[in-house]
Structure 1
């Protein structure tokens, strides 16, 4: 989060963003995984969740979706409501027990599980071991497809230029931009165009966009201006919070350019089959 965010939100937890560490990936694909769908996918982009499941099932993996899952706790955590965030997180820990990998179609939510739950439960040694085990088996969707499934995508679509937006937290915490780029590079008819401000926040920032709407609006205006200037036909992102903000701004500007979740794009381009 930016310094503006912390100045605007007095109770915000000031935690330096962790630097992604190299990790050991499983030697083979697991037979089953959990999908942590995220609340934004559930409420606003359900097709992204379904396409994530389809991509995983096509790799021969059975996907379990615990029905009681909810928010990862990130909005409360970054707003300084630690007790409330811990309550939400504890419920997710109970639902995603065992040793199955947890795949998340959102880099920011995956980062919360993998990087920030340890801070949230640092004063509970009896829970911390469970939290650390969850962190080790949590993967962002593109990361999992690339490094665990070692997916090989066949492009069945027409030539298209796309711009990839990676949320600022997902970029720092989960290297989502690298995973997305690598998957798109497998699609022979897809040209990924570079755009200015790619690494900058779109202005959503969860509760930041509500507390500081003028600054948030200026940030998404910069983001959409540069996306339009890139010449891309389509915007892709692995974070639905960013998509909701960017698409809302583009719609207000009466632009035809729109964003789509990476999972849906990959599923559609590869024709739903090998």
Structure 2
């Protein structure tokens, strides 16, 4: 099958899309990507429920001096914070682990110009969720990069069956070279108030960043969509709203994404 970039060009011709192909490389300082831990069912350390209850009860009693307020590990729902992770239990069984981790690699980058009611800087954090089966075996492990400009899947995702056998593993980062901050600097050069950033890949050699630019509320600014080749940093297309609505160049990636993530859908 031909590389997706050639497919995009052909589809643009066939659909009479007038997107502008900018034959430039955006020169800029490269920024570091966020460190995303590779958590699996085998290296996941889960504290004992009894230890979590004991530690929480010690804090409760120290604060209230009231033993009637102490927790019971068999309560309908319990939530604990421990070592930057949150643990959720239902009827004494672990159902969810979550964590939100700040970027400890790259400092936030201020926008070139402040816009009313818009984020003043580019910054990111990592959100991790680990879901469990009723038998308390790990079901799936997922990470997202959260930013003021949207969120997208990141890091290593795993999904297992109830017996603990691996069903699927996705390593998102192996498909990308650019960082969120690299793309944010490109987006900021267009001086739009609202910026949405996402990324996509086809599992082969094609990966892209998509920037959606808009005004806020009643601002008379025409929306614009930018598509960047992750491998080169080249701005491939700039499209207005009508051109983007007629653009079919990412359809293959969208279909690939639906197939890729179907085992990771929460029930």
State TM-score, norm by structure 1.
0.28
User: Which has the higher Rg, Structure 1 or Structure 2?
Assistant: 2
State TM-score, norm by structure 2.
0.28
The structure carrying a bigger strand percent of its residues is 2
The structure carrying a bigger helix percent of its residues is 1
